[in-house]
């Protein structure tokens, strides 16, 4: 099949499946909102691939999708909240997190 005939969600799924099914995966994989543009059934398969990949690699996913989160156990989910409505950059500049910011 020619790639231009596939939907964005289908192409995204193929790319993510390729990354998650690597025979020698990296120690850590970080994927931002992997479910975007995917059919609900594809999200279910994606969740299975993520879970399987997590046995060989640390897989970190950021998502706002309750559909994707529903496929995981609560102990596998970390919820992050913005501290006092500050951005990460604000916290860094205020020296609440370590490191020294470079002043622009």
Range of the domain at 66: 3-78
Domain count, the chain: 1
Compute the average pLDDT of residues 52-57.
96
DSSP SS3 for 91: helix
Domain assignment present for residue 102? The answer is no
Domain assignment present for residue 41? The answer is yes
Domain assignment present for residue 84? The answer is no
* Of residues 80 and 83, more confidently modeled: 80
Q: Which two tokens stand for residue 53?
A: 């990949």
Has residue 80 got a pLDDT over 70?
yes
Here the CATH number for the domain that contains residue 31 is 3.40.50.300
Question: Whole-prediction pTM value?
Answer: 0.75
Domain assignment present for residue 93? The answer is no
Has residue 23 got a pLDDT over 90?
yes
pLDDT at 89: 80
Helix ranges, 1-104 (H): 8-20, 40-53, 66-69, 88-93
Has residue 96 got a pLDDT over 80?
no
């Amino acid at each position: 099949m020619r790639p231009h005939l596939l939907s964005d969600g289908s192409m995204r799924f193929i790319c993510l499946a390729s990354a998650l099914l690597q025979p020698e995966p990296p120690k850590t994989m970080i994927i931002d909102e992997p479910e975007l543009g995917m059919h609900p059934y594809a999200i279910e398969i994606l969740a299975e691939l993520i879970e399987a990949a997590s046995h060989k690699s640390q897989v970190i996913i950021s998502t706002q999708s309750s559909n994707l989160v529903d496929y995981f156990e609560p102990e596998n989910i970390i919820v992050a909240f913005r501290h006092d409505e500050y951005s990460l950059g604000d916290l860094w500049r205020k020296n609440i997190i370590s490191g020294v910011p470079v002043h622009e």
